[in-house]
Amino acid sequence: MVVALRGTDGRGPGNTGHSIANERATRTPFDASRPSERVCPVPAPEATIRAMRRLLLGVSFALIASQACVVPDVTLAGKKCDADGQCLDGFVCQGGVCLAQGTLGTACVADSDCAAQALVCTHGACAEPCVAPACVCEPGDTQACGSNEGECVPGTQVCGDDHQWGACSGGVVSITETCNGEDDDCDGIADDGPDMACVQGADAGACTTACGTAGHEACNASCSGYTCVTPPEVCNGQDDDCNGAVDDGPSFVCVQGADAGSCQTTCGTTGHQACNMFCTGLTACVPPAEVCNGRDDDCDSAIDNGLTGNVNTVAGPAAFGAVSLALGPGSGLAVYTRGGPGHARIELQRLDGALMPTGGPVDHDTGAEQTSPIAAALGADAGFVAVWVEGGVVYALQVGPDGSIEPVHQISAGLATVTHVSVAASSAGVAYAWDEGASDGGRTDIFVLLPSTDGGAHLVNVTSSASASSALPALAASSDGSTYGLAYVQGGATHAGVFSAAGQRVLDLSPTWGAAGTSAPSIAFANGGYWVAGASGDRMACIRGNLDGGLSTVPVDDPAGGVSGSPALVSDQGELAFLGWVHQDASGGLQMRMQHLSADGGVRTFQTTAASVGPALAFDGADFAVSWIGADAGGGAVLEVQSVCF
């Protein structure tokens, strides 16, 4: 309320002719930000009386000015204002005018602030209450919109002043389905377009690729079907990814196991380098495989190790006489006599590549005494020939590579008695040698039956000019059949000679061991020469001869005491030869001994084995084997065979 002060104009003391209200109208509007002003309270009637009294007492307006204060410009509803203080109690300054508290648009905290006007407090201001369905939301409210299925991402809607939800914004909406392994149209199913049969990249299990590797079936790039997908390339010596290149992975530099050339090993042998197991470079120098040559080829500090096979029992137990062994590629043939004195018979037993018996033995019993069995290989995949003496006549038969047995052929004429026979095979054919003498025990000569170039054979008596009988022949042939070696006993001494294919003696050796050479000798060809072995007294002896006539003695590791005999020689027709014999010690024990021989005179005893008959040695161009008559656990005689490296 504005109160006017009365003056001396008859309307009150001190009347100056204008009211306080008129004076306020000329004042500068109230500014609450000015600290020098303070707001004067609106004077009540009693205060007005006291003011009039002060005026009447002579209080000057200067004193009132010294206590300067500003009387607020109190206005009614709808009047202009700058602050709530310029409005009456129950009014607020809203938008520059005084509004009754709780009216539309005035500030609020809770609905109670707006209840007087039947309004509600919405987002800090009193507003008309919203009633559905015209109003679906309150202005400023938000909600999620759109889909969260598949590749879709929900957006946001904001409620407008019209109480309606605005457009959905900020999300990812569905699009037309494409073949990409994703649910583009947000229907919960990936790659389900009208022309799509599968989900791109989906695995349907294992499959075999076009190059034979193990792949997997996967949905193709157009989702129209499945394709066998090749595996990634790995280092394994194969073309895994079917691109025509082996071991061509991004970090590979070579093909696993590929030979990169020769190199020298740590033990001095010639090895080779190869691509390593990771295809990232070459291995160290890889030693060669161990071979039977008296050297440590594989650098394991052992010589010729791992090259001796198991001992296999071929036949028995039974009474055995003599044994012979021949080896061919992947097979062998053992020929032996079986039965007691006066009724020995020939048996043949085929062997497989592991020297195990294959099929049953072939008993060639004719009722007559059969002795001096011997076998020879006929060359690569040509089978074997078996020879023996029966009733003083030489017989032979061939065994095919398939085990078939051909008819028996008579070799000697049968005009005289034969006691021993030998055979040698070469690329030129089969040659035979035997001792033949009168049945009354007269002179005995050595005959050689050699193959001729026209497919026939010619018989040569090689000892016809000798003054003494000759017996116990041993025959050897060079690999091409151009030269033959013959060793035999004549006049109590071992003789040897070399003959041409025509039967002409090209080299005649003088007696080697004097009058002591009475047991059957053995002979084998070497590179440019030959070896001859035989008993000299009670010791085994060996010589190395050259085709130019040179001759040297080879030391033999034969213990002193006892008696040695039954020598057997075999060679690779190169620099290696192997000698086996039976030694009977002073107590009567029998022992088979074997020794490696070399052109440089090297000697190495390989092994000793208890044996009563043998040994028989054979070489097939790659492997050596020995056969002998041994004893089983019960003491029975058995025919045994073993692959060996001396």
Q: How confident is the model at residue 209 (pLDDT cuts 50, 70, 90)?
A: very high
Higher pLDDT: 307 or 55? It is 307
The two three-digit tokens of residue 546, written as one number: 């050259």
CA angle 291, 296, 299 (to 5 degrees): 110
Q: How confident is the model at residue 439 (pLDDT cuts 50, 70, 90)?
A: low
565 vs 544: CA distance, rounded Å: 19
Given a cut of 50, is residue 640 above it in pLDDT?
yes
332 vs 322: CA distance, rounded Å: 17
Q: Quick one: 408 exposed, middle or buried, by C-beta within 10 A (0-12, 13-18, 19+)?
A: middle
What's the confidence (pLDDT) of residue 564?
Answer: 77
Q: How confident is the model at residue 367 (pLDDT cuts 50, 70, 90)?
A: confident
pLDDT digits (tens, 9 = 90+) for 126-141: 888 877 777 888 888 9
What's the confidence (pLDDT) of residue 510?
Answer: 57
pLDDT digits (tens, 9 = 90+) for 224-278: 999 999 999 999 999 999 999 999 999 999 999 898 999 999 999 999 999 999 9
Across the strands, what pairs with 577?
571, 597
Range in 145-159, 465-479, 619-633 with the lowest mean pLDDT = 619-633
Range in 103-117, 144-158, 294-308 with the lowest mean pLDDT = 294-308
Distance of alpha carbon 287 from the chain centroid: 21
At 202, the amino acid letter reads A
What's the confidence (pLDDT) of residue 12?
Answer: 40
CB 196 within 8 A of CB 182: no
Query: H/E/C letters for each residue in 252-303?
Result: CCCCCCCEEEEEECCCCCEEEEEECCCCCCECCCECCCCCCCCCCCCCCCCC
385 vs 641: CA distance, rounded Å: 19
509 vs 486: CA distance, rounded Å: 11
In degrees and rounded to multiples of 5, residue 79 shows phi and psi of -80, 155
Residue with tokens 């679906």, as numbered in its chain = 136
Q: Quick one: 466 exposed, middle or buried, by C-beta within 10 A (0-12, 13-18, 19+)?
A: middle
At 595, the amino acid letter reads Q
Q: How confident is the model at residue 63 (pLDDT cuts 50, 70, 90)?
A: very low
Q: How confident is the model at residue 2 (pLDDT cuts 50, 70, 90)?
A: very low
pTM of the predicted model as reported, rounded to 2 decimal places: 0.56
Residue with tokens 């090259």, as numbered in its chain = 307
456 vs 462: CA distance, rounded Å: 19
Nearest C-alpha neighbor of 151 from the set 129, 171, 174: 174
The two three-digit tokens of residue 68, written as one number: 């300067």
459 vs 452: CA distance, rounded Å: 10
Q: Quick one: 401 exposed, middle or buried, by C-beta within 10 A (0-12, 13-18, 19+)?
A: middle
Ranges of beta strands (E only) in 483-536 are 483-490, 493-500, 505-508, 522-526, 529-536
Q: How confident is the model at residue 441 (pLDDT cuts 50, 70, 90)?
A: low
What's the confidence (pLDDT) of residue 610?
Answer: 66
Q: What is the dihedral of CA 486, 488, 494, 498, to 10 degrees?
A: -20
Across the strands, what pairs with 508?
497
The two three-digit tokens of residue 33, written as one number: 């930000």
Q: Following DSSP, what letter does each residue of 170-238 receive, concatenated?
A: SSB------SSSS-TT-SS-SS--TT--S-TT-EEEEEE-TTS-EEEEEE-TTSSSEEEEPPPP-SSSS
Higher pLDDT: 564 or 106? It is 106
Q: What is the dihedral of CA 571, 572, 573, 579, to 10 degrees?
A: -10
Task: Supply the DSSP symbol for 107.
Answer: B
Given a cut of 90, is residue 634 above it in pLDDT?
no
For the segment 610-639, the average pLDDT, to the nearest whole number, is 80
Task: Supply the DSSP symbol for 243.
Answer: S
506: how many CB neighbours lie within 10 A of its CB? 12
Q: Following DSSP, what letter does each residue of 69-81 receive, concatenated?
A: -B----B-TT-B-
Mean pLDDT for the chain? 80
What's the confidence (pLDDT) of residue 598?
Answer: 67
What's the confidence (pLDDT) of residue 246?
Answer: 95
193 vs 237: CA distance, rounded Å: 43
Across the strands, what pairs with 67?
none
What's the confidence (pLDDT) of residue 67?
Answer: 46
What's the confidence (pLDDT) of residue 23?
Answer: 39
107 vs 88: CA distance, rounded Å: 16
